[in-house]
Amino acid sequence: MQDFPKHVEETVQTLAEIHRLHHSNTRPSEKFVARLTSRMSQPGFLIFITALFLAWIFVNLLTPAWLAKAPDPPPFNLLFQCASLFSVYITLLILISQRREREWVHQRDQLTLELAMLSERKTAKIIQLLEEFRRDHPDMFDREDHEANAMSEPANTRAVGEALLEPHRGMPTPGAVRPNAGDP
């Protein structure tokens, strides 16, 4: 077994704890829906449903030979009604599963954003310290580095967020008609 550095092990443990916390906050009904959806998404379930439909059709086609009337003669209206109802339930199960997954993705995205913002501030602080060290060290040439000065300032996250919410100036909106170069 390979030994990992301590920080890698701590990261893995933290991620496992996040997954455990997400799972522990899941209601029993959501766990049931997740298990059911997981089972229905297997190839065996497709084979089972196909066999069930074929058996239904086969039994209803052969029943008139043994009985006076088939329970669901062609065009198999009862089969179509059952299939429609089953489709509604499968659709609802999928929607419930997707909602829960969307919540999980939102939580991960939020964590990623928070960590990116924290990393950006740390990086700006490191650049500030390096620039300060360069200016204070007697053996290093003291010069003004405008790019380093700009990078040493943390981003204004509020302004960046507002800029993302505003339509880009000068950028055409999707579906907008752009005039030809020769048009007035």
118-149 pLDDT, tens digit per residue, is 898 889 889 888 888 888 887 877 777 788 77
**What does the block give as tokens for 80?**
């179509």
| HSE (side-chain half, CA atoms, 13 Å) at 84 | 6
pLDDT for the residue 55: 95
Residue 170 has pLDDT above 70, yes or no: no
Pick the range with the lowest mean pLDDT from 40-44, 109-113, 163-167.
163-167
Predicted local confidence at residue 1, as pLDDT: 55
**What percentage of the chain carries pLDDT values higher than 70?**
89
Question: Binning pLDDT at 50, 70 and 90, where does residue 184 land?
Answer: very low
Burial class (CB in 10 A: 0-12, 13-18, 19+), 92: exposed
What local confidence, expressed as pLDDT, does residue 67 receive?
Answer: 74
What average pLDDT score do residues 60-76 get? 86
Residue 67: alpha-carbon gap to chain centroid: 54
pLDDT at residue 78 tops 50: yes
Torsion of CA 101, 107, 109, 111, to 10 degrees: -150
Token pair for 170: 């000068």
The whole-number pLDDT of residue 38 equals 93
- Position 12 scores a pLDDT of 83
Q: What percent of the chain has pLDDT over 90?
A: 34
